[in-house]
């Protein structure tokens, strides 16, 4: 074996980038899936929708494919016009991303310098760490409340003169708790004007379906400093593979800053067409939200019956403490039952699994498998 060539320079890439993990994971092989064809495994680990997107979105994407010899609209005009009409947010303050993940990483690039601080919930979405680490900034993680929602009081208290960015996920992934507008406004008011508040609303539609507040107007009225809400077509709209997310920012200047950072054609033409058509099929989305609620409640009840302690989630996922080590539970669920679930890779949460809701058939298989694994 030959040794890897040395890096061209001790400073390229920057030290804190050398230390980052490479994203992604290897494909599942038959041997860890009990000899099953990996294509038959039930995917209940990535908070994806198990349901295809709206038929109208599929037709729009098929049509758009025939014209991909042309570049997409670099200003996503049709999509931002439709989002503006739906949300009441000014069109020139809306930015699109290749998934909301692109926006999360981008916000770190224009806010953070080495040794700055970023306040996040604990546990919360892993990309916030990346947004901080690629810029050499420090993550200050504040434990979530018992109901799995972010602790706005604790997060406000964690802010120092070095804080530049706060990621507030509601509903929070992986715990699934959501905040009232009163809570969000408390943090929005407490943050200094030189801190950017990111409201991560990737699961916004699920929160509204569960009777939660719509925070936009309340935050707009309460906060003088900069803020942005990130949402996505990956979850309730079932378009995770298309990679479309958006940011509703509080000023044209902030929206323009995102624009300056991005690659010019960051959302491809098929994705733009699919997202636009998906927005127009509200009934399809509502039926997915309702099916998700039913399966989430079945899974939560089953987990409690089996001696687990789930957080009271409103999302398309549940995190739960298990009576057996989570790593072994995840492995056995895959090997013995062909069900892929996740676990929380966060210090202090070693005993927690995370399950994405899927079809009712998947819930049956999940609960049968868990009963055997936890017996």
Ligand X SMILES: Cc1ncc(COP(=O)(O)O)c(C=O)c1O
Vertex 45: Cα angle to 43 and 48 (nearest 5): 75
Instruction: Tell me the residue number closest to ligand X, measured at CB.
Output: 99
Q: In the complex, what is the shortest distance from the CB of residue 297 to ligand X, in angstroms, rounded to a whole number?
A: 20
Calpha distance 47→354 (Å, rounded) = 9
Near ligand X in 242-261, by CB under 6 A = 245
Near ligand X in 35-64, by CB under 6 A = 47
Tell me how many residues contact ligand X (CB under 6 A).
Answer: 13
Cα-flanking dihedrals φ and ψ of residue 208, to 5°? Answer: -65, -40
Determine how many CB atoms are found less than 10 A away from the CB of residue 193.
9
- Does 200 help bind ligand X (rule: CB under 6 A)? yes
Residue 88 region, left (φ>0) first, then alpha (ψ -120 to 50), else beta? left
Count of residues in the chain: 375
Selected from 79, 96, 150, 169, the binder of ligand X by CB under 6 A is: 169
Identity of the residue, 163 or 234, whose beta carbon is nearer to ligand X in the bound complex: 234
Sequence-separated (6 or more) residues with CB below 8 Å from residue 287:
none
Identity of the residue, 43 or 324, whose beta carbon is nearer to ligand X in the bound complex: 43
Q: In the complex, what is the shortest distance from the CB of residue 144 to ligand X, in angstroms, rounded to a whole number?
A: 13
Selected from 100, 175, 272, 322, the binder of ligand X by CB under 6 A is: 100
Identity of the residue, 232 or 357, whose beta carbon is nearer to ligand X in the bound complex: 232
- Are 239 and 278 within 8 A, CB to CB? yes
Selected from 72, 79, 94, 101, the binder of ligand X by CB under 6 A is: 101
Identity of the residue, 102 or 337, whose beta carbon is nearer to ligand X in the bound complex: 102
Cα-flanking dihedrals φ and ψ of residue 350, to 5°? Answer: -65, -25
Identity of the residue, 234 or 249, whose beta carbon is nearer to ligand X in the bound complex: 234
Q: In the complex, what is the shortest distance from the CB of residue 202 to ligand X, in angstroms, rounded to a whole number?
A: 4
- Sign of the CA dihedral 293, 296, 302, 306? negative
Characterize 81-118 residue by residue with b for buried, 16 or more Cβ atoms within 10 angstroms of its Cβ, and e for exposed: ebbbeebebebebbbbbbbbbbbbbbbbeebbeeebbb
Calpha distance 73→261 (Å, rounded) = 17
Instruction: Find the part of the chain contacting ligand X (CB under 6 A) among 32-40, 98-106, 265-273, 318-326.
Output: 98-106
Identity of the residue, 41 or 107, whose beta carbon is nearer to ligand X in the bound complex: 107
Near ligand X in 106-145, by CB under 6 A = 125
Sequence-separated (6 or more) residues with CB below 8 Å from residue 138:
115, 116, 117, 118, 132, 162
Q: In the complex, what is the shortest distance from the CB of residue 14 to ligand X, in angstroms, rounded to a whole number?
A: 24
Q: In the complex, what is the shortest distance from the CB of residue 237 to ligand X, in angstroms, rounded to a whole number?
A: 10
Determine how many CB atoms are found less than 10 A away from the CB of residue 283.
8
- Are 79 and 276 within 8 A, CB to CB? yes
Look-up of token digits 């929380």:
344
Identity of the residue, 121 or 310, whose beta carbon is nearer to ligand X in the bound complex: 121
Calpha distance 344→336 (Å, rounded) = 21
Near ligand X in 170-189, by CB under 6 A = 173
Q: In the complex, what is the shortest distance from the CB of residue 98 to ligand X, in angstroms, rounded to a whole number?
A: 8
Selected from 202, 210, 267, 270, the binder of ligand X by CB under 6 A is: 202
Instruction: Find the part of the chain contacting ligand X (CB under 6 A) among 96-104, 156-164, 260-268, 299-307.
Output: 96-104
Of 136, 196, 202, the residue nearest 167 (C-alpha): 196
Q: In the complex, what is the shortest distance from the CB of residue 368 to ligand X, in angstroms, rounded to a whole number?
A: 27
Site string for ligand X, 218-237 (x = CB under 6 A): --------------x-x---
Binding residues for ligand X (CB under 6 A)? 47, 99-101, 125, 169, 173, 200, 202, 232, 234, 240, 245
């Amino acid at each position: 074996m030959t040794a890897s060539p040395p890096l061209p320079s001790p400073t390229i890439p920057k030290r804190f980038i050398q230390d980052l993990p490479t994203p992604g994971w290897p494909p599942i092989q038959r041997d860890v899936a009990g000899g099953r064809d990996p294509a038959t495994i039930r995917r209940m680990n990535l908070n994806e929708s198990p349901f295809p997107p709206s038929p109208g979105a599929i037709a729009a994407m098929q049509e758009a494919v025939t014209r991909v010899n042309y570049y997409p609209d670099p200003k996503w005009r049709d999509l931002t016009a439709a989002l503006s009409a739906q949300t009441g947010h000014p069109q020139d303050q809306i930015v699109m991303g290749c998934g909301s993940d692109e926006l999360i990483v981008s916000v770190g690039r224009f806010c953070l310098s080495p040794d700055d601080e970023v306040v996040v919930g604990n546990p919360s979405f892993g990309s916030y760490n990346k947004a901080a680490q690629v810029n050499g900034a420090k993550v200050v993680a504040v434990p979530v409340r018992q109901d799995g929602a972010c602790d706005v009081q604790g997060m406000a208290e964690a802010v120092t003169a070095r804080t530049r960015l706060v990621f507030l996920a509601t509903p929070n992934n992986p715990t699934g708790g959501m905040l009232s507008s009163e809570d969000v406004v408390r943090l929005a008011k407490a943050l200094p004007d030189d801190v950017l508040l990111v409201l991560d609303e990737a699961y916004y539609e699920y929160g509204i379906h569960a009777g939660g507040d719509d925070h936009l107007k309340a935050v707009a009225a309460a906060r003088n400093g900069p803020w942005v809400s990130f949402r996505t077509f990956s979850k309730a709209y079932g378009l995770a593979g298309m990679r479309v997310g958006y940011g509703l920012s509080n000023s044209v200047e902030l929206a323009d800053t995102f624009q300056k950072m991005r690659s010019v054609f960051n959302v491809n033409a098929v994705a733009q067409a699919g997202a636009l058509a998906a927005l127009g099929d509200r009934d399809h989305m509502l039926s997915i939200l309702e099916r998700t609620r039913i399966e989430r409640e079945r899974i939560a009840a089953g987990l409690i019956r089996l001696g687990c302690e789930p957080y009271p989630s409103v999302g398309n996922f549940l995190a739960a403490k298990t009576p057996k080590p989570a790593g072994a539970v995840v492995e056995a669920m895959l090997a013995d039952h062909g069900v892929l679930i996740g676990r929380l890779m966060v210090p202090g949460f070693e005993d927690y699994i995370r399950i994405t809701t899927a079809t009712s058939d998947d819930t049956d298989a999940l609960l049968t498998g868990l009963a055997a694994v936890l017996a």
